[in-house]
Amino acid sequence: MNPELLIRSAKSGSDWGPNELAAYNITMEPQDAATFFEVDPLPEPHVPADMLDKLEAEETTDLDSFRTLSAMDLAMSAAPSEESAVDDFVVRVFDILGYTNRDVVLRTRKDIEFVICGMCMRAKTDVCLLKNRSEIILLVQEDKRHLEDRGDAEAQLVAEAIAAFQSNNKKRFLAGIDPVLDVLIPGIVMIGTAPIFYKIRVTKELADAVMYGIFPQTPTIVHLHVPSLPRPYRRLSEGMKPLDNRRITLRCYEAFKMFIILK
């Protein structure tokens, strides 16, 4: 079907799915680690040694590792009737890896105004990083489809990136600063404690197309990387628990940090 003929309607970010990606000329392209992170080999993670050497939280000797591994266990064992603990785990990972500092703070469950097809809707991110407590520079969306029927996390993440672009430019305008015409917004989809990393380049053309509900002629290619783990078919059940999985994943997080430091 011609994507230009797909229906475009005012939807919140949480209602986005494959149809919206096709309707706005957005495609996904997986990349290997060296290409995606633009570094080879991946850097060693700057974390306490216990994060790499101790399987269980109870074996750790430093408090940060204990808290992070405890949060990981809770995220992997949440009851179906409870709210997921994955967001809490992401918060701990970002803190222990140094994603946050005096200039970059963390928010959970932040609502972002999302203008689509001429209407003001909302896009709600699970976790995001804010530069100077204002500019959204990284997004995290949990994929809950393995737990319940809860939409398409990948499409939701893209919607949130477009909403962040709109919101950041609105704040720049109100501050008397020129808006940006394109920006790379890094994002992560969490499947349990297993992340998939995304680089989403949002342009004014794409943001305007969504705002007015039209088909953008220039395609948007979202690059993504799924960490290469020793037992890929156990990615969901194992997550970051095994030490070999944990080291590989933490190296990816360490390399991904570059895309927020450069902002």
Degrees, nearest 5: CA angle 32-47-243: 65
Q: Which helix (H) or strand (E) holds 173?
A: helix 153-174
Q: What is the DSSP string of 87-150?
A: HHHHHHHHHHTT---SSEEEEEEEEEEEEETTEEEEEEEEEEEEETTTEEEEEEEE--TTTS--
Domain that holds residue 106: 3-262
Beta strands 135-142 and 119-131 are: antiparallel
Number of domains the chain contains: 1
pLDDT tens per residue across all 263 residues of the chain = 566 667 899 999 999 999 999 999 999 999 999 999 999 999 999 999 999 999 999 999 999 999 999 999 999 986 666 667 999 999 999 999 999 999 999 999 999 999 999 999 999 999 999 999 999 999 999 997 655 544 599 999 999 999 999 999 999 999 999 999 999 999 999 999 999 999 999 999 999 999 999 999 999 999 999 999 999 999 999 999 999 999 999 999 999 999 987 66
Side-chain half-sphere exposure of 6, counting CA atoms within 13 A: 19
Whole-prediction pTM: 0.95
**In this structure, is the dihedral angle defined by the CA atoms of residues 59, 62, 64 and 65, taken in order, positive or negative?**
negative
Distance CA(126)–CA(142), nearest Å, equals 7
Which residue in 108, 118, 67 sits closest to 87, CA to CA? Answer: 108
Q: Is 216 helix (H, G, I), strand (E, B) or coil?
A: coil
Distance CA(239)–CA(193), nearest Å, equals 5
